[in-house]
Amino acid sequence: MTDALIIIDMQAGSFGEDTPRFDAEGLVARLNSLARKVRARNGLVIFVQHDDPPGGVHAPGTPGWQILPGLQRHEDDISVRKTACDCFYNTGLEDLLRAHRATRLFITGCATDFCVDTTLRRATVKGFETWAPADGHTTADRPHLTAPQIIAHHNYVWADLITPSGPARVMSCADIMAGPLSES
């Protein structure tokens, strides 16, 4: 079994003063810890970046497109670029995962209610063993719900998805590192 940690849209343009995200510093620290564990098991660490059209906050090559500087990237980490909420849509992500025989995916990043949710649901229907670190994703407050409410709601929904491969497995980053990522 090969693990893959997928870190979605942790880009500077989504974490500015005008776009605060819930527990951003804590999330970066937890993702760095998860990445160290996955790398130690010879798993894949995949950074997914959203490409906006020219003029957008995430336009390739702009400061907003860059991965947050606090995230520790290694030369063996993989980059995938996308143009939709779904990390599988018109990207080579699925082929990459299958080529590396990745069977267990840990879906993390920003934003819980958009790209993380869409990608996690697609991963489950594609037959991957899909994990949602409960504190491994973030979003911003929305007009109708706070970020913590959105995160809690999605964790609840993901744990009860009806798909051929079953629901996502939802547990904290610490419990994942002490459990599934500590197995030999």
pLDDT 10s digits, 79-100: 999 999 999 999 999 999 999 9
**In three state form, how does the secondary structure of 80-121 look?**
EEECCCCCCCCCCHHHHHHHCCEEEEEEEEECHHHHHHHHHH
pLDDT tens readout for residues 17-60: 888 999 999 999 999 999 999 999 999 999 999 999 999 999 99
* CB contact at 8 A, 24 and 64: no
110 is catalytic: no
CATH code for the domain in which residue 147 is found: 3.40.50.850
As to burial, measured by CB atoms within 10 angstroms (0-12 exposed, 13-18 middle, 19+ buried), residue 72 is middle
In this prediction, residue 165 carries a pLDDT of: 85
Q: Which of 85, 110, 115, 173 is catalytic?
A: 115
Q: Which pTM does this prediction carry?
A: 0.97
Cβ pair 21, 110 in contact under 8 A: yes
The parent domain of residue 62 ranges over 2-102+111-182
Count of domains for the chain = 1
Give the CA radius of gyration of the chain: 15
